[in-house]
Structure 1
Amino acid sequence: MARIYPTRIGVPEPGELSIEEYHSGFIGVFYIPPHERLREARLKSEKPELYKRHILDVDITKDFVSIYPLNTLPRNSGFLEPKYDVVRSITLEGFGFGLPESTEEVIEMLEELPSAFIKDYDFGLGLLKDFMPIIDFLEQVGIEHLVISKTAETHISEKDSIFTMKYREFEEFRKSMNRITNRARLASKKIKSVTTNNLIAYFLDNEDYPQKPYFVGNDALTRLIARSSPSIPQGLSKSEQKKAVALIEENKKAIAKDSPESLVKLQNTIELVTLEQLIEKYERMMQRRLSESHWQNLLNQNPFILNLAFGYPIVKIHDQASVGGRKLTGEGDKITDFLVKNSMTNNCAIFEIKTPQTKLLNKTPYRESVYTPSKDVAGSVNQVLDQKYKFQKEIAMLKENTGIYDMEAYATQCVLIVGTVPEDKEERKSFELFRRNSKDVEIVTFDELLNKLKDLRDFLLEDSESS
């Protein structure tokens, strides 16, 4: 067995390769992940050889090289499993590769692969991202093996689940994909230039700095990319926007009478744009480490988001509401982030808001593949249950003290908004087991709420396009 550690300055320790000879002129090459990746994937790293994976075959007697694309990303749930869902191998036939006798020669051979291929074994080999459409197509029709041949014609063998593609035709495909990618980059560069100009011109609102015209190119690709830019269309300046709003305000009765559908469509468009801006703001906030107060402010300004956590209409009674528990000393009020009620039954619910960065589970498993809720989550659940207890106990006094009599504590619901759904499969399972058995506290993650906002946006967009 021969192994090598390629020298890569500033890059984490790579995996190893090992060679096994099947018979004269036919070898198998195997990938052994490094200790660091195994630790990151929460696997035992003392003996990396236990995780050896088949990644390559070379047979000079039949003149082929077969690649078995591998997922080498330790944070991915499919770590050390096949990279693609259906396609298992990519074979180069008739290329005249020699037989590597060492891992150094294997690495040299990989450098000679066609330019559409990933040549670094530490990234699992396979096709580069720009050429994935061919893999997507093959997976749609259930093909498991792709053969790129210099000797055979292009054909499909459904019986053997093999798609053979003549190398010359594969090269045409590769060049076409490259042309599309290059055109897209050029068009994107144009659009970015115009977008930058128009955004700055918009905020300056100065005639000396005009916006550039919408049609920055005549080809369909450029126009398509331009549609994704918020500032490419001939947008209105701030002063023009004020005039437009005033004009609609002055004529709203006439518009409602003569063309009510136009007014409804305008209202829907405004709601859609507003929702889109909210989603963008939400996503920006998710990327930063913000305090609980920032998220409380966002939900306070957009209380309809709380509706999404329930799925039925609610009315906000108060934020940072005292729900009882005051001691004789005047201290000890139980403060909930939001007190809301069902708009039809008046039954109340309590919301507790944490942050997306709050850890849902403890880092170390309690048992193999079983994770317990973190201290922050367990504490938050008890906190909101204590608030519920005090609220139900003192509801009559709260009604009297606040003058709000149309709220009830028939079966006070509790909602905890916290963290994000774990990426790891086993952690997701532990989290779901915990929250589905938390019958008195509904636990919702920040990214789940974001997805609900996006679903609402998509629904409104569909409705807008169909009207």
Structure 2
Amino acid sequence: MADEWNGELRLIVHDLGDTINVDVQLNDRLVQSVNTFYNWPAVNEPKQLFTIDLDRKVAGIFPLITYRSDKIYAQKYSQIRSIWFDLPDDDVGRPTDHDSAVEFLKQYLPGGFVQDPTYGLGVTKELRPIIQAVEKIDKVARIVIVAKEATRHEHSTFYFSEMDFDTLRVAFGRTTRRHQQESLMERNILAHNNVLHKVYPDIYRMKEPPYRPGTIYKLVGGQDAAQTVLERKDRTALLKTVVGNAAAIADRDPKEFVQLQKDLELVSLDQLIHSFEKSMARNHNESHWQKMLELNPFILSMVFGYPIVIVQAAASVGGGTIAGNGTKIADFLSKNSSSHNAAIVEIKTPQTPVCGTVYRGGAWKPSNHLMGAVVQVLDQRQKFTLSLSLHKQFSPALSDLQAYAVDCVIVIGKMPTDISQVGSFEMMRGQFKDVRIVTFDELFGKLLLLREMLTGERYVSSPDDEDDHDDLDALFEVEPDEEDDDPDFGEVENSSR
């Protein structure tokens, strides 16, 4: 038989009675080319490709690498050496030569399998993920497709129910066809946009792929969507989609809508806490903090102990001369949202000291910055009270604003770390009946307490990131920090603020 071989691929049948083994001998020119390239001996030995057990009515294939490679004749998969399947109960044709062996493969191999021995048998490329999944199971070397048994794993064998395998094969085919259709649609859209729209943009509008139900669920990870990190364009598109569908979500999925609100509020709070924490570590000027509190007025509500509404940031509260100078500017003019009683807020920075020099006996004087802020806010309150009626005449929006007992709040510095300074600071601020003094770290503590009450969990500070700095400035839309010209106590009376 060897003398008759013309050098092309051939199947060699070994009939052993109830067992028939079939070897493959690859194209001689291909093998010799590989041998020459890798300086191997000039041999082309046949290797077993499949076997038939007529007694047990089963057949097994041994998928091989048959293309030009240093692994030619090696097993095709990293772990799986053989794949077995049942044969029909009726008489099975016995292959006797190359042609009848090829015919056997065409007739009895299950769907989803390569039938041409030229390609070394095995599953089609479309079904390759099945092999890859099975090979994740340690030491599995054989797959058996059986008709009347459940899919399972035992020792070195993975048993595949014939029904499960066929179901998966059909699903793979459906997925492939769907992607082929989507690919064709995308190619048509690309052709339209780059030919018709590019040449005649007024006649042919830019096309986008149409929405398909379930697309978002699949693209963002299905049940694992919470762990998916979206890029900026995708985040923006998703937010716009949620906003556009808010009414439908609230109507059809009220529980999910309420949960979405809670989740978004918690994310917003976490972002605020993160930004607040990082900002305290930097030398931001007052305008940065004014912008942060303007965007998040509920922080001030926690200071006042009642809900407030910001009436005006950087508000003129009066005190100007006839020449137009000397006007007093408050960082925030706010009001109680229920009684409309006015409140004035003066903002400094976390770096502003609250204690000055030691006086005697371990007692510390308040800093010039702090006392200046106290006089400043009391002066603003006086000017505002005297000029409120005039403001109402020219500003209808202020018609309901009242000055029954104008609250004054100063947000300044951080709590001292020295115990004697803490005592002096607490005694000093406790004596002011008309001015409330709050430090930035106390505000931060209120935010942490609010989060803990909402979630039952403590906030964990994240590591600092160089990119955070740019993100914070972009978030609050402030100009780069300038030198802080906050006046000392002796200069307050000359300040327009």
Q: Normalised by the shorter chain, which TM-score bucket?
A: 0.3 to 0.5
Between Structure 1 and Structure 2, whose CA radius of gyration is higher? 2
